[in-house]
Structure 1
Amino acid sequence: MKKIKIIHILHSVGGVDTSLRVLINAMDASKFEHVVIHGTKDSSNFIDATNTAVKEYKIPIERDIHFVKDFKSIIEAYKIVKREKPDLIHAHSAKGGLIGNTIGFFIDGIKVLHTPQAYSFLSTKNRLKRHFLVFIERILKNRNSILLASSNSELERGLNEVKYKRSKTALFNNCISPVVLNPKFSDLSSYNLPSEYICTVGRPSYQKNIEMMIEVLREIVKEIPDIHLVIMGVGLVSPNTENVKRLIKKYGLESNTTMIEWIEREKIFHIISKSKLYISTARYEGLPYAVIESLSLSKAIVATDCDGNRDLVTDQKNGFLLDLDAVVLMSNRIIELIKNDSKRLNFEDNSQKIFNERFNLDNNIKALEHLYLSYCRK
């Protein structure tokens, strides 16, 4: 039987990178062949379910809009697609969507699935820039474009703001296999963490809104002076790192915080597993892997009520959802869960149940394979 060939196009960093690696590694390698087109500076070595390296092409894909560089990327990607003759294109991220959907204009008979993993227009407060980015999303979608949303929130954005027709959309939640803690990565002594702490994974940026988290920590310290916050993921595309450090120093919270640069996911799992709870102050998400991992690790979660977070956290069931900038209320909720063991344990049990019901890749991967097959060119 001839394998179905899928070309993936993306700027492969952060959750977008994690998403593709997880999917390729979980899919039936006897039925599907994968080819990855991604940025020259991105991490490499995508592995399929048989532990075989996937064919990769590196082209100059960058995060920000740059008309000349983007045009060159589109031309290079177009040539690769023509040469590889895939059955389907899956474009991940905003930049992957720009390239993939543009190619879809010019190649008849091949569908382009676009998974934004958080629309780019959510990344700005500037109204004119937001309208411009929405406009780009609208004009790029074409007769061959299908929105494959990573969360229900993302699906609704696509329908209501990008104006996809319902018939041109599908939903496949970001998923992971249940987290199994690898003892090889259990030694955390180099980080000098206290016995009790709360944690988050998120690069200091407009999206992750870590400044709000420091404001929340400042309030918690008034009630729990030895509270400790561990922030993981600092360093890679982290434009607000110095702002966060200045805020920590301003409030005298140096002894209450640990900032850790990008490390192996397996070490992140161990740090989350030992934490009291997981927190997120994001302004928007696609469907955040760190929160899904926290569900798998049975963690209570305190998070902002934004796209992505609200798809994973049910208020008063497995955590608390709070308005953006509700600093005092978020600090009170965190204090409540630290002090109320029975409530926190109940939330932890519910997180595990929600994960198994909706976000367990082992249960859901066949649904993605079916989606791929249904959109392949006949």
Structure 2
Amino acid sequence: MNKIKVVHILHSVGGVDVSLRQILHNLDTKNFENIVIHGDSDTENEFVDKDAKPIGYYRLPIYREISVRYDLAAILKAWKIIRKEKPDLIHSHSTKGGVIGRVVGFLTGTKVLHTPQAFSFLSAESKSKRSFFLKIEKILSKGKTVLLASSQSELNRAVNEVGFPKSKTDLFNNAIEPIEKIYDLSIPKTWPDQYLCTVGRPCYQKNIEELIEVLYELNKIVDVHLVILGLGHHADHIRQVEDLIEKLNLKNKVTLLNWTTREDVLNIISKSKIYLSTARYEGLPYSVIESLALSIPSIVSDCDGNRDLIVNDYNGYCIKENNIVEFSKKINVLIQDKELYNEFSKNAKETFEKNHNIYKKIKDLESIYREQLT
């Protein structure tokens, strides 16, 4: 039997990069062949398969920002690649990968599976931009595209807001390999041994400003330090976050870290007391999945993605946006109640093993790929 050839198109950064690498590293190499089309400046790390063999790839001018020049160039080059490779299926990941993949799929008549990892219109801070991005998503939902959601919340939004028929949707929850080893930090440790942490660049989506407000409220009751990982590119709210930290006199209570290796991130999460997220929206956040895998309870905002992972009074707490006092109270509860903390910790690991262990879940994705070709 011939292998099923899948071409993946994406801007390979952050959680989107993690997602693809986890898939490629676990797909059955006897039945599937993979090719990657990604941005020319997003990652230098090679993609490898289950047998640790390098995977073929192409680079395109795929960038986060909208650019008629670069986006059209990327579509044209991707069209030429798809005509050359003749894949059975295109799997597009992320907003920009989805635009390119779906347009090229339409032009070549190739079936497309699209995984948004959070819809683009959710990132818009104004109603006009949100409406514009939503209209683009509605247009691109037509044709042969099937929405492969990374969470149930994302699937619901695809049906209720974007307009995908339920018959053109499917679900494959983000999943990772079990974390079997924690490596030493490659960066200097400058923060206390007792701390809380979050992963996410200061931007509209991650809503770090609210987390700083939570920390301020929390430090009225208990002495707590917060480590924030993920400063760097696209951290357009960094000045607001730094100004708020200074205004609230929290400079000695917060450590801001630039983008670092995934091994460093896992080390820091693993030694954190609690994982925190005040995001406004997510696809299905890998940092929260990683905290589950590491038996770390989470307290998160009640938004898409977060609510799919964290269940109140089971493995953490989901808090309504802007409820800063409640957020800080729940953190204090878990800090003070060791018995409850240990119960949530055990339940976090069980949640991971049941729903997000890719060793157990990869067969589901292989079945989805096959079903799209029947």
TM-score normalised by the shorter chain: which range applies? Answer: over 0.9
Q: Which residue of 1 aligns with 2:22?
A: 22
Check the 8 A contact 1:104/1:142 in 2, yes or no: no
CA distance in 2 between partners of 1:269 and 1:290 (Å): 9
User: Equivalent of 1:337, from 334, 337, 341?
Assistant: 334
Structure 1 counterpart of 2:361, one-letter code: N
Deviates more, 1:40-49 or 1:279-288: 40-49
User: Equivalent of 1:349, from 346, 350, 355?
Assistant: 346
Structure 2 counterpart of 1:99, one-letter code: I
* Residue 150 (1) aligns with residue 156 (2): no
Q: TM-score, normalised by structure 1?
A: 0.96
Q: Which residue of 1 aligns with 2:219?
A: 221
Give the length in aligned residue pairs: 373
Structure 1 counterpart of 2:51, one-letter code: T
Q: CA deviation at 1:269?
A: 1.2
Provide Cα deviations, 1:285-307, integer angstroms capped at 9, x if missing partner: 00000000000011111000000
Provide Cα deviations, 1:191-229, integer angstroms capped at 9, x if missing partner: 22212111111111110001111111111111113x100
Check the 8 A contact 1:210/1:244 in 2, yes or no: yes
Structure 1 counterpart of 2:195, one-letter code: Y
Q: Which residue of 1 aligns with 2:130?
A: 130
Deviates more, 1:260-269 or 1:363-372: 260-269
Q: CA deviation at 1:143?
A: 2.5
Check the 8 A contact 1:59/1:76 in 2, yes or no: yes
* Residue 203 (1) aligns with residue 204 (2): no
Q: CA deviation at 1:189?
A: 7.6
User: Equivalent of 1:245, from 242, 246, 260?
Assistant: 242
* Residue 33 (1) aligns with residue 30 (2): no
Q: CA deviation at 1:33?
A: 1.2
1:252 is paired with a residue of what secondary structure?
Answer: coil
CA distance in 1 between partners of 2:290 and 2:187 (Å): 22
Q: Which residue of 2 aligns with 1:176?
A: 176
Structure 1 counterpart of 2:318, one-letter code: L
Provide Cα deviations, 1:342-362, integer angstroms capped at 9, x if missing partner: 111111111111111111111
1:222 is paired with a residue of what secondary structure?
Answer: coil
CA distance in 1 between partners of 2:157 and 2:263 (Å): 33
CA distance in 1 between partners of 2:65 and 2:161 (Å): 21
Structure 2 counterpart of 1:271, one-letter code: I
1:365 is paired with a residue of what secondary structure?
Answer: helix
Structure 1 counterpart of 2:17, one-letter code: D
What percent identity do the matched residue pairs reach? 47
User: Equivalent of 2:363, from 342, 354, 366?
Assistant: 366
Stretches of structure 2 that go unaligned for 5 or more consecutive residues are: none
CA distance in 1 between partners of 2:352 and 2:18 (Å): 17
CA distance in 1 between partners of 2:263 and 2:113 (Å): 30
Check the 8 A contact 1:204/1:240 in 2, yes or no: yes
2:47 is paired with a residue of what secondary structure?
Answer: coil
Check the 8 A contact 1:101/1:142 in 2, yes or no: no
Provide Cα deviations, 1:155-200, integer angstroms capped at 9, x if missing partner: 0011011111111111000001111123xx2247812221211111
Structure 1 counterpart of 2:152, one-letter code: N
Provide Cα deviations, 1:224-247, integer angstroms capped at 9, x if missing partner: 13x100111111321111221111
* Residue 230 (1) aligns with residue 227 (2): yes
Structure 2 counterpart of 1:372, one-letter code: Y
Stretches of structure 1 that go unaligned for 5 or more consecutive residues are: none
Q: Which residue of 2 aligns with 1:166?
A: 166
Structure 1 counterpart of 2:11, one-letter code: H
Structure 1 residue ranges (4+ consecutive) displaced by more than 6 angstroms after TM superposition: none
Check the 8 A contact 2:141/2:163 in 1, yes or no: no
Report matched runs for 1:313-324 at 5 Å.
313-324=310-321
Structure 2 counterpart of 1:304, one-letter code: S
Check the 8 A contact 1:105/1:142 in 2, yes or no: no
Check the 8 A contact 2:300/2:306 in 1, yes or no: yes
Q: Over aligned residue pairs, what C-alpha RMSD do you find? A: 1.3
1:255 is paired with a residue of what secondary structure?
Answer: coil
CA distance in 1 between partners of 2:323 and 2:80 (Å): 49
Q: CA deviation at 1:142?
A: 2.6
* Residue 264 (1) aligns with residue 265 (2): no
Q: Which residue of 1 aligns with 2:270?
A: 273
CA distance in 2 between partners of 1:325 and 1:68 (Å): 39
Q: Which residue of 2 aligns with 1:73?
A: 74
Check the 8 A contact 2:13/2:42 in 1, yes or no: yes
2:98 is paired with a residue of what secondary structure?
Answer: helix
2:181 is paired with a residue of what secondary structure?
Answer: coil
Check the 8 A contact 1:181/1:269 in 2, yes or no: no
Q: CA deviation at 1:32?
A: 1.2
Q: TM-score, normalised by structure 2?
A: 0.97
Provide Cα deviations, 1:321-349, integer angstroms capped at 9, x if missing partner: 11111111101111111111111111111
Structure 2 counterpart of 1:8, one-letter code: H
Check the 8 A contact 2:275/2:298 in 1, yes or no: yes
Report matched runs for 1:297-316 at 5 Å.
297-316=294-313
Provide Cα deviations, 1:33-78, integer angstroms capped at 9, x if missing partner: 1111111111031111111111111111111222232111111110
